[in-house]
Chain A
Amino acid sequence: MTSSFSLPPSPFLSRRNILKSLSCGFGYAAFAAMAHEAAAKEQPLNPLAPKPAHFPGSAKRVIFFCMRGGPSHVDTFDYRPGLKTHEGKAPGSVGVGLNNQNGRKLMPSPWEFKKHGESGIEISDLYPHLSQHADELCLINGAWTDIPNHPQALVKLHTGNFQFVRPSMGAWALYGLGTENQDLPGFITMKPPARLGGTQNYGSAFLPAMFQGTALGVNGNVGIGNIENKTVSTPQQRKQIDLLQKMNKGLADRQPQNSEIDGIIESYELAFRMQAAVPRVMDISEETQQTQKAYGIGSGQSDDFGRMCLMARRFAESGVRFIELTHEGWDQHGGLKAKLESNCGQTDQPMAALIADLKERDMLKDTLLVWSGEFGRTPAVKKDDGRDHNATGFSMWMAGGGVKGGQRYGETDEFGIAAVKDKFHTHDFHATMLHLLGFDHKLLTYRYAGRDFRLTDVSGSVADKIIA
C-alpha cells in the first residue's frame, strides 16, 4: 500500500468477481439484489454504492479521534477520588495489586474534576470546551485491551488483531455500507502514523483494495495523489479523455457482453469529477471567519487540529463514511503536567466546535464520534510527573450517532488500574460501533482462505447501555 493515497472512490467489479468474493459473506443477498438490478439496467456493479445494513443503524458515519500514545484516563475522563485518599501508597497495600505494580505509588491527578451538564458527569479541567457538551458524551470508563505496547495495541484498536494482517475498521465499515459520495474517497484518515503498523491501520488486507483508507497528510502530502495534472490544462485533458472514451466505446461495441469496459469508462468520468470535487471539499477558506475561529483555527495551539476537525465536518457533510483524525504525542512517561495540558489544549476546542457544528446542522444524531487512545496510563507511578502504559483499564468516549450521552459507562477499580464493571474490550468497541452502523458484528463477514472472517474475530459483545 502506498502511503500517499489509495482508496478508490468508484470501483467496479465484474459480477463474477463480486459473487466469487461475496457468495458466502455478508450481504450475499444485498449483492445478489444489486447484481440483479445492475444486470437489468445493464450497469456495472459498484460495491461502493450505498447499501443497506442488516438493520437501520442510528449512525451513518464515523469520526474517530485517535489519540496516539495512550492518554491518561485518570487525568481526563475517569474521575478516581481514591487516588487522593491513598496518595503515595503502593496499590498492593490498599488491596489492588495488579499488573506490575511493584515500586509504584498512587498519584492523584494534578487536575480538578468537576461535574458538568445536567447529567453531572465528571470531566477534568483539562477540557473546558468539551465539558460544555457533557450531556452529549458517553464516557466509557471500563475500556481495556490486551497488551500495553504501542504497536500491538494500536493495530488491535484499528483491526482487532495484531497477530495477523486484517482489514481495518474503516475498511469494514466501507465494505458494509458503501459510501454516499462517489466523487470522494469513502474512508479518509488524516495524519496516520507511518510506523506502528502504518498502512495496516487503514488497510483492507484480504478485502478488495477499494475498501482501504485514503491517507491525507502523510510524508508532507496534504492532498490525494494524482489529483491534478501539472502539464495538461483541464480543457485539453477533457479532449484527451473524450478521445480515450471513444476508443473504449468502440471496444464496448465490439464486445457488448464485457461489462468491465463500462466500468473503465465510468472510472474515467468519476476521476475527472474527483479532480474538481476533492480540492473543493478540502478548501476550508470557504468557511466563515466565525466558523474558523470557533474551531480554534488561527489561534496558535489548536490551529492544526482545528483545521483537521473542520475538514472532517466538510468530509462528513459530503458523504464520506469513515473519517479518522490522529493526534500524536500522548505517551507521557514524563512531563505529564506540561504535555498533557498542551495536548488537551490543542484538541479540546476543535472537538467541542465540531460537536456544536454537527449539532447545529442536525448531523450529530447520525454521526458517531469516538475518542480513544491505544490504551491508558498507570494511576500508580514510579516518577513524580509521568505515567506508564496501562492496558487493563482506560477510558474512551463516544458521542452522537445514537449513543446515549451524559453518562459514565463502566468502571475501573478505586484507582483506575483495571476495568471491573461493564468491561469494554476492543472487540466490544468494534461490535458496538458496527451495531450503531446497523450491523450484527457476527454477520458482517468476508470469506477468505475458506473461512468467514469478521472484525471481531470470535469475540465482542454490544454494550447495550451505551445505546440511546
Chain B
Amino acid sequence: MSPRLPLAVLFILAASSAATAQDKAGIAFFEKEIRPVLVKECYSCHSANSKEVKGGLLLDTREGIRQGGETGKAVVPSNLDDSLILEAIRHEGLEMPPEKQLPAETIAKFEQWIRMGAPDPRDEKSAPVRRTIDFEKAKDFWAFKPVSNPAAPEDKTGWAKSPVDQFIAAQLSEKELKPVADAKPETLVRRLYFDLIGLPPTPAQIDDFKQAAEKNRDKAVEELVDQLLSSSHFGERWGRHWLDVVRYGESTGMERNATFPFAWRYRDYVISAFNSDKPFNDFIREQIAGDLLESDSPEQKFERLVATGMLAMGPKSLNDNNKENFAMDVVDEQIDVSTRAFLGITASCARCHDHKFDPIPQKEYYGLAGIFRSTDTLFGTSGTGNRNSARILAWADGKAVPVAPAGDGGKKNNQSKKNVKKQLQVAEQKLARFEEQIKQNPKLADRLQKQIAATEKQVAGFKRQMKNSSDPAPATEQKNREFLMAVLDTSNPSDTQLRLRGEPDERGATIPRGFLTIGSTGHVPTIEKDGSGRLSLAEWIIQKDNPLTARVAVNRVWQHLFGRGIVATVDNFGANGDRPTHPELLDWLAADFVTNGWSIKQTIRTIVTSRVYSLGGEDNEVALEIDPGNALLWRANHRRLEVEAIRDAILQASGELDIEPEKASIVQTVGDGIVGRNLQADQFETNNRKRSVYLPIVRGNLPEMLNLFDFPEPSIISGSRDVTTVATQALYMMNSEFMMTKSESLAKRVLGEADMDDSARVALTYRLTVGRLPSQEETEMAVAFVEETTASLDEGQSKKENDNAKTKAWSGLAQALFGSAEFRYVE
C-alpha cells in the first residue's frame, strides 16, 4: 500500500462534506445552460433516438458523453484541454455543429461547466452504439469472398478460342451483342509489340508476322508471344507498370527534396524480376521481407535486400522536427503502399478512425503499424535542413552493414565507437542516479517515470549503435562496397499504441501486431517472436486463400492489355471502388494464376492468345447503342500509348535508340544532396537515348516529356494513368529540341536510302512510324508536301543548299507523323 493513501482519503472526505450544495448548483447550471444546447444542437445525431448515430458518439447520457466516440472523450471533467467537445464547438479541427458555430457565450458556458467538473445528472445507461464491424457480413462483399474457380461457360456460337473468350462471349450474348471481326495482322502485331515490350515492330518484324499469320494465324500469334515474352525488353515494359504502382522515385520529394542515389537498384531488380518471371508471390515476399529470408548465395541475399527498397523509397518530409510524427508518417506510407499495391485496399484510411467504407478498424491499422514501427527504414539522404536523415545499407564481401550516407547529413549516425561508448556510459550513469533517487524517496517514482523511460530508450539506442559500429572494418572505409536502400528489423521489435485521431503523440491502448481481419481467410500466420512481423505479413498477403492478392494482380495485367481493368479502380477493391465487369472471369484468371505458380508471363500468354484480345477496333452501331463504353469488350479499345512507349518509338524510328540498359542512374552520378539547394534541377537533364524507363525520376523534377504526357506523380501510388490531351503536348511535338532532332534523324535515315524514289521513302517513313503502308492518297499528299517544301526552302543553286532543303522537308513529314494521333494510339 502506498504511504500516500491517507492523504488521498483525507482529500476525498474533505471534498465530499461540501459536496451537496455544490452538486445542486452544478446540476442547476447543467440544466439551465448545457442540457438545452445539447438537446437542441446535438441530439439529432448523437442520441439514442438519432436516425444514425454519428462518430459513435452519444451525448444523451453522462456515460456517453464521458466515454466519447471514435475520436476520443467528449468531456473530461475539469480538463479543458482533453475535452474534445470544446474543440468541436470552437471549430478547431473538429467542427460541431457542422453548419454553424455556437455563440461565444455558449462556448464559454461549456468551458465553465467542464471546469466545474462537468456535473451531469443523466444516470441512464448509454445505448450500445459503438460501431462494430460485422466481419461475417462484410465478407459478403464480392472482393472479400474467397476466389471461386468457376467453369468457363459454353460458347455455342463457336467464336471462343479459350476459356477467357467463353466468359466474354457469355456476357456478350446475354446482351445479344456480337464481337466485331478480328484485327488485321499489321494491327495485331503492333498491338502485341507495344503491349509486351513497349516498342513498335520494325518493318521486317511486321512482314515476318504477316507472312506467318497468313499460313496459320494462331500459331503465328503463339510464336510471337513466346518470343516477346522472352525478350529482355519485356521487363523494361512491365517493370515500369509496377514502378507506377509502388511510386518509384529517386528523391524524397516534399519540402526538402533529397536525392536517393541508389534507388535505381530497385528499378533494375523489378525489371529483372519480370524478365525472369519471378513467381509473383516470391516477388511480394521479397519486397516486404527480403531481408528476413534465408538466402542460398550472396547474390541472392543482395537481390533480396534491394527488393525491400520498395518500402524505403517513399516520399519523406525530411524537415519535420517532430521525430514521432516523421516516424508515423513513414509507417503510414509503408502501410499505404503495401495494402494498395498488393491488396487493392486503402488501409491507411484507418489511421485516424475506423475506415469509413471498408471493414478496417483503426485498431487493425495499428496492428500493422507495429510491424513497420519495428522496421528500420534505411533510405539515406543528406543535406542541410534535413532533420531526418537515415542510414543506408553498405554491402561488401557478402555482408550488409547500415552506415551513414555519404553526404554531410549523416554525421549524427557516423559516430565513432568511442564516442558512442561515452554517451552510453553517461546515459547508464543517469539511470543509476534515478534508481538511487527513488530508493531514497519512493514518491519520486511517478514523477521520474517519463525521464526513466526516455533514458532507457537512449541506452537501448546507443547499444544498438555500438553493435553496428563494432563491425571490425567499418563499411565506410571499405573500397569495394555498394550502397543500397533497404529495410531491416529493429533490434527491439515491439507493438505500438493506437494513436487517437491519428495524432502521433496521443497514445491509446497498445495494439498487438497483426493483420487485417478482412483478408484473413484460411491460415493466418502468427507474428514471429523475435522479429518485426514483416515476414508473417508477407506470408499473410500471399497465402493462397487471401481473397484479394491474386485478383488484384491479374486485374492489373488485364488493365495493361485492354486499357481498363475488369475492376476499373485497380488500386481500390473496396466499397468505393468499381465492381468487376466480369467477376467470374476475374476469379478464373486469379485461380489460374495461382495454379500456374503465380506466373505473370503465363497469365499474359493466356490473355493475349485469346480471341477477344485480337479483336479489331471497328465500330458497330448496334453495339455502340447497347454498350457505348465497350465494357463488355465487343471490340478492341483505342488506347493512348504511355509516354515511355511514345518516346521509345520516336527514338527507334529515328534510328537513335540505344537499346542497351542504363547502368545505374544519373542521380547516382549527381550524388547526395537537396534539389534546389546544393543541387540544381538541370543537373539531372540528360541527352539520354536509352529507353525511357531509365530516365531519372527525381520527384518534383520529372523529365519534361514525361511530365507533359501524363506520367503519374511519383509520390503517389497510381496503378492507372490519366489520359489527357492538351495544347502543351502539341507545343512539345511542334517545337521541342527532342522532336526537332529526332525528326531530322528520321529524315536523314530515309533520305539515305539511295535506291528509293520519294513514294518509296514515304512508304518507309509510314512503316517506321505508324507501322503500315500509306494509302495512295496519303502517299500523294506526302510527296506533294515534301516537294513543295523543298522548293520553297531551296534558295540557292548549290547541292548543299538543296540537300538542306530536302532534309528540312522530310523532317517536316517525319515530325507530322510523330505528332499524329495514329502514332500515339494503339488499336
Residues of A within 8 A of B (CB): 1-14, 16-17, 20-21, 24, 44, 147, 149, 151-152, 154-155, 162-165, 182, 193-200, 203-206, 208-210, 219, 225-229, 231-232, 236-237, 239-241, 243-244, 246-248, 250-252, 255-258, 260-261, 263-265, 267-268, 270-272, 274-275, 447-451, 458-459, 461
Report whether B731 and A236 are in contact in the complex, using a CB–CB cutoff of 8 Å.
no
Find B676's partner among A2, A24, A193, A243 (CB 8 Å cutoff). Answer: A193
Bound-complex Cα distance A126 to B605 (A): 73
Chain B residues, CB < 8 A from A260: 638, 640, 723, 725, 821, 825
Expressed in whole angstroms, the minimum distance between the Cβ of A242 and any Cβ of chain B is 9
- Is A197 touching B255 in the complex (CB atoms < 8 A)? yes
B317 at the interface (CB under 8 A from A): yes
Q: Contact string, B89-128, partner A, CB cutoff 8 A, digits 1/0?
A: 0010101000001000000000000000000000000000
As a 0/1 sequence over residues 696 to 732 of chain B, the CB contacts with chain A under 8 angstroms (1 = contact) are 0000111110011010010111100011111111111
Tell me the complex Cα distance, A181–B93, Å. Answer: 38
The answer to whether A241 and B734 have CB atoms under 8 Å apart is yes
A251, B821: Cβ atoms under 8 Å? Answer: yes
Do A271 and B730 form a contact, CB below 8 Å, given A17-B723, A193-B676, A255-B638?
yes
22 inter-chain pairs at a CB distance below 8 angstroms, sorted by A residue, are A3-B701, A14-B723, A16-B629, A165-B715, A200-B254, A200-B255, A200-B700, A208-B710, A225-B736, A236-B789, A236-B792, A236-B793, A237-B734, A243-B813, A247-B820, A248-B821, A251-B820, A260-B640, A264-B824, A449-B340, A450-B358, A450-B575
CB distance from B252 to the nearest CB of A (A): 11
Asked whether, in the complex, the Cβ of A243 is within 8 Å of the Cβ of B568, the reply is no
Identify which of B577, B676, B728 contacts A6 (C-beta below 8 A): B728
Closest-CB distance, A276 to chain B (whole angstroms):
12
Q: For A196, list chain B residues within 8 Å (CB).
A: 255, 676
Contact at B349–A7, with CB atoms within 8 Å? Answer: no
Does the CB pair A10–B778 fall under 8 Å? no
Contact status of A7 and B728, CB under 8 A, knowing A1-B702, A151-B319, A450-B346: yes
Q: Give chain B residues whose Cβ lies under 8 Å from the Cβ of A228.
A: 735
> Which of A12, A198, A240 contacts B726 (CB under 8 A)?
A12
Which among A265, A271, A450 is the interface contact of B576 at CB below 8 angstroms? A450
Please name the residue on chain B nearest to A16 by beta carbon.
Answer: B629
Residues of B within 8 Å of A200, CB to CB, are 253-255, 700
**A260–B723 alpha-carbon span in the complex (Å):** 10
CA distance A378 to B320 in the complex (A): 21
Distance between B510 CB and nearest chain A CB, rounded to angstroms: 24
- Which of A1, A154, A461 lies in contact with B707, CB distance below 8 A? A1
- Asked if B321 is at the interface (CB within 8 A of a chain A CB), the reply is yes
Q: How far is the CB of B54 from chain A (nearest CB, A)?
A: 14
Beyond A260-B640, A260-B821, 6 additional contacts (C-beta under 8 Å) are A9-B728, A12-B724, A197-B254, A206-B718, A226-B732, A267-B730
Which 10 residue pairs are nearest across A and B when measured between Cβ atoms?
A: A8-B726, A151-B255, A195-B676, A271-B730, A194-B676, A11-B726, A450-B576, A263-B725, A244-B816, A270-B727
Q: Chain B residues near A251 (CB, 8 Å)?
A: 820-822
**B785 interface residue per 8 A CB criterion:** yes
User: Does any Cβ of A come within 8 Å of B574's Cβ?
Assistant: yes
Q: Is the CB of A6 within 8 A of B707?
A: yes
- List residues of B (804-827) whose CB comes within 8 Å of A's CBs: 808, 812-813, 815-817, 819-822, 824-825, 827
Given that A5-B728, A195-B675 are contacting pairs, would A209 and B710 also be in contact in the complex, using a CB cutoff of 8 Å?
yes
Residue pair A199, B701 in contact (C-beta under 8 Å): yes
Query: Which of these, B93, B572, B822, contacts A449 with CB under 8 Å?
Result: B572
B interface residues, Cβ below 8 angstroms from A: 91, 93, 95, 101, 253-257, 315, 317, 319-321, 325, 329, 340, 346, 349, 356-358, 385, 568-569, 571-572, 574-577, 617, 619, 624, 629, 638, 640, 674-677, 680-682, 700-704, 707-708, 710, 713, 715-718, 722-736, 740, 778, 781-782, 785, 788-789, 792-793, 808, 812-813, 815-817, 819-822, 824-825, 827
Q: Which residues does chain A contribute within 8 Å of B624, judged by CB atoms?
A: 257
A229 touches B735 (CB 8 A): yes
User: How far, in angstroms, from A208 to B726 measured CA to CA in the complex?
Assistant: 11
Q: With A195-B257, A450-B574, A461-B95 as known contacts, state yes or no: A219 contacts B734, CB within 8 Å.
A: no
Residues of A within 8 A of B568 (CB): 20
- In the complex, what residue of chain A is closest to B726 when comparing beta carbons? A8
Known contacts A205-B716, A206-B713, A243-B781, A450 near B577 by CB under 8 Å: yes
When distances are taken between beta carbons in the complex, the residues of chain A under 8 Å from B700 are: 1, 197-200, 203
Cβ–Cβ < 8 Å partners of B574 in chain A: 450
A9-B728, A12-B726 as given contacts; A257 in contact with B675, CB under 8 Å: no
Give the shortest distance, in Å, between A215 (CB) and chain B (any CB).
Answer: 11
Q: A149-B321, A241-B734 are in contact. Are A232 and B812 (CB under 8 A)?
A: yes
Identity of the chain B residue whose Cβ is nearest the Cβ of A8 in the assembled complex: B726
Residues of A within 8 A of B812 (CB): 232, 236, 239-240, 243
Question: Are A271 and B101 touching (Cβ within 8 A)?
Answer: no
Closest chain B residue to A214, Cβ basis? B728
B346 & A449 in contact (Cβ 8 Å cutoff): yes
Chain B residues closer than 8 Å to A252, beta-carbon distance: 821
Nearest-CB distance from B818 to chain A (Å)? 9
**Residues of the A chain whose Cβ atoms lie less than 8 Å from the Cβ of B727:** 8-11, 182, 267-268, 270-271, 274
Does B701 contact A1, Cβ atoms closer than 8 Å?
yes
The residues of A that contact B629 with a CB separation of less than 8 Å are 16
Contacts of B708 in A (CB 8 A): 2, 6, 8, 209
Task: Collect the chain A residues with CB atoms within 8 Å of residue B317's CB.
Answer: 152, 162-163
Residue from B101, B356, B704, B819 in contact with A244 in the complex, judged by beta carbons closer than 8 Å: B819
List residues of chain A with CB within 8 A of the CB of B569: 450
A198 and B789 alpha carbons, distance in the complex (Å): 44
Q: Which residue of chain A lies nearest to B621 when distances are taken between CB atoms in the complex?
A: A257
Chain A residue nearest to B777 in the complex (CB):
A250
Determine if A12 and B725 form an interchain contact, defined as CB atoms under 8 angstroms apart. Answer: yes
Kindly list chain A residues whose C-beta atoms are within 8 Å of the C-beta of B101: 461
Please judge, given known A-B contacts A194-B681, A196-B255, A450-B572, whether A264 and B821 are in contact too, CB under 8 Å: yes
Contact between chains at A13 and B725 (CB < 8 Å): yes
Whether B724 and A11, one on each chain, are in contact in the complex, defined by CB atoms closer than 8 angstroms, is yes
Q: Is the CB of B726 within 8 A of A267?
A: yes
Most buried by A among B257, B357, B675: B257
Residue from B95, B572, B727, B735 having most chain A Cβ neighbours under 10 A: B727
B820 touches A208 (CB 8 A): no
A186 to B: closest C-beta gap in Å: 11
With A1-B702, A450-B572: A219-B713 Cβ-Cβ less than 8 Å: no
Chain B: CB-nearest residue to A448: B716
Chain B proximity of A287: nearest CB distance (Å)? 26
**With the chains together, A247 CA to B361 CA distance in Å?**
56
Q: Please, how many angstroms separate the alpha-carbon atoms of A177 and B822 in the complex?
A: 32
Closest Cβ neighbor of B564 among chain A residues: A16
Q: B734 touching A270 by the CB < 8 A rule? A: no
A199 to B808, CA, bound (A): 37
> Which residues of chain A are within 8 angstroms of B730 by Cβ–Cβ distance?
264, 267-268, 270-272
| Nearest-Cβ distance from residue A17 to partner chain B, whole angstroms | 5
Q: Chain B's nearest CB lies how many Å from the CB of A424? A: 12
| Chain A residues within an 8 Å CB radius of B675 | 194-195, 198
Complex contacts, B716 vs chain A, CB 8 Å: 165, 205-206, 448
In the docked arrangement, what's the CA distance between A245 and B270, Å?
40
A250–B820 CA distance with the chains assembled, in angstroms? 10
- With A152-B317, A209-B707, A229-B735 given, is the CB distance from A267 to B729 under 8 Å? yes
Find chain B residues with CB under 8 A from A250 CB.
778
CA distance A241 to B734 in the complex (A): 9
By beta carbon, the residue of chain B nearest A459 is: B93
Contacts of A163 in B (CB 8 A): 317, 325, 329
A208 engages B320 (CB within 8 Å): no
Question: Nearest chain-A residue to B720 (Cβ)?
Answer: A20
Q: Could you tell me if B93 and A165 are in contact, using CB atoms closer than 8 angstroms?
A: no
* Interchain CB contact (< 8 A) of B571 among A12, A194, A272, A449: A449
Whole-angstrom distance between the Cβ of A271 and the nearest chain B Cβ: 4
Closest A residue, CB atoms, query B320:
A152
